[in-house]
Amino acid sequence: MRIAVCDDDIYMLRLLGDYLYRLRGSRLEFSVEFFKSSADFERALERRSYDLIILDMEMDKADGGGIARAARARKREEKVFILYTAYGTEYALEALRRMNCYFLLKPFMFADLRRILENVYYCSAIEYRKFGASFNHDVVSLELREIVYFESYQRKTYVCTAAGCYRVTERLDDIEKRLPPELFLRIHQGYLVNLSHVKKIKGQELYLKDGRRLEVSYRRRRAVYEKIRNYLTKIS
């Protein structure tokens, strides 16, 4: 997991450095870069991507502050997790309205940071797992985060990514058995969806972030609502 810390508060940088050093002895594997300047941080974003960005919301308010800085980071890496920090709670609601975002009131405790890092690490690790499949007489390997959903139609199965849908040889029931249930959800006899690509659910339709809509079966609707609500709560 790749972490960037952007904060001009020397005390908080030292505190974060101490906390992250203590976490190196845990099961978490990560690298971290510290930035005292928002300009240096944004230059780094042009060269590399991060899984988690820890941002001071009150830094460089004239340039839009933490919210604007996070928005620019998301243009380069849509699924990056953001941990906003501040000495006051006035920014908390605005921060938590956004997907994959957390907020901590400074100065925070080691246990609070550890909980968030463990959650981000867990979510990131799952999405980077590989899915191997055969189609067009070839065997391909896709990262789970690349897969938007699987579809079964007229006894044929397709894996759908942002680039398009491709026929695979496995049955949807068999594919479901080898995917992590924390990330993939059967919403219909014909659809198995990656929860990280879900925008919202309304009625019997599931709205995906790329604009596509999928039907939710009536008998699965209550369970689907519950699973999506729990997932979105967990990562928000």
The residues spanned by each domain of the chain are 2-127, 130-235
**pLDDT tens for each residue of 53-112:** 998 887 776 565 666 777 777 666 667 888 988 887 776 776 666 667 888 888 899 999
The domain made up of 2-127 has a fold known as Rossmann fold (3.40.50)
Task: Measure the CA–CA gap between 94 and 74, rounded to whole angstroms.
Answer: 16
What's the CATH superfamily of 130-235? Answer: LytTr DNA-binding domain (2.40.50.1020)
Cβ–Cβ under 8 Å, residues 23 and 117: yes
- How long, in residues, is the chain? 236
Helix (H, G, I), strand (E, B) or coil at 210: coil
Task: Measure the CA–CA gap between 227 and 164, rounded to whole angstroms.
Answer: 26
**pLDDT tens for each residue of 170-208:** 899 999 988 888 789 999 999 999 998 998 999 899 999
Q: Which residues contact 72 (CB under 8 A, 6 or more apart)?
A: 42, 45
Q: Is the pLDDT of residue 209 over 80?
A: yes
Task: Measure the CA–CA gap between 76 and 97, rounded to whole angstroms.
Answer: 20
pLDDT of residue 157: 93
Nearest to 125 by CA among 102, 144, 150, 148: 144
